[in-house]
Amino acid sequence: MTETKSALEAGRKIVAILNPELEGQLSEKYDGLVSDFAETLVEWGYGRHYARPGLDLKTRQLCTISALTVLGGQTSPQLKINIRHTLAAGATRTEVVEAIWQMAVYGGLPAAINGLNAAQELFDEMDQAA
């Protein structure tokens, strides 16, 4: 088995936990623009990074939402997706909010407020769907 195939399989296992529909959604949206976009993202992002030993999936996801928060409001769509993934990885809403709020120290209050807004919007959507 090649290293790439192994990483793709590892990535698909993680995606199955976080969002089983993700690869298909990405393929439908982006593969027409960038050939094999979805498979590349799953193989590289999830199979080579998220699958690494040393941190559990929940911690990796909390790191991801922290980074997206610091990057600012333009990341709101990705932040919402990754907040959902973080919850699927076992984090609580309180842990998500605290990870975002902690970023006020590093990314500033505007970035943290944008992150909290994204979290609240997602929580409201989830509560309405329940």
Length of the chain: 130
- Chain-centroid distance of CA 55 in Å reads 15
**Both tokens of residue 74?**
């333009």
| pTM of this structure | 0.91
Q: Measured between alpha carbons, how far is 77 from 71 in angstroms, rounded to an integer?
A: 12
Tens of pLDDT along 40-85?
999 999 999 999 999 999 999 999 999 999 999 899 999 999 999 9
Tens of pLDDT along 73-102?
899 999 999 999 999 999 999 999 999 999
Q: What percent of the chain has pLDDT over 70?
A: 97
Is the Cα dihedral 28, 29, 35, 38 positive or negative?
negative
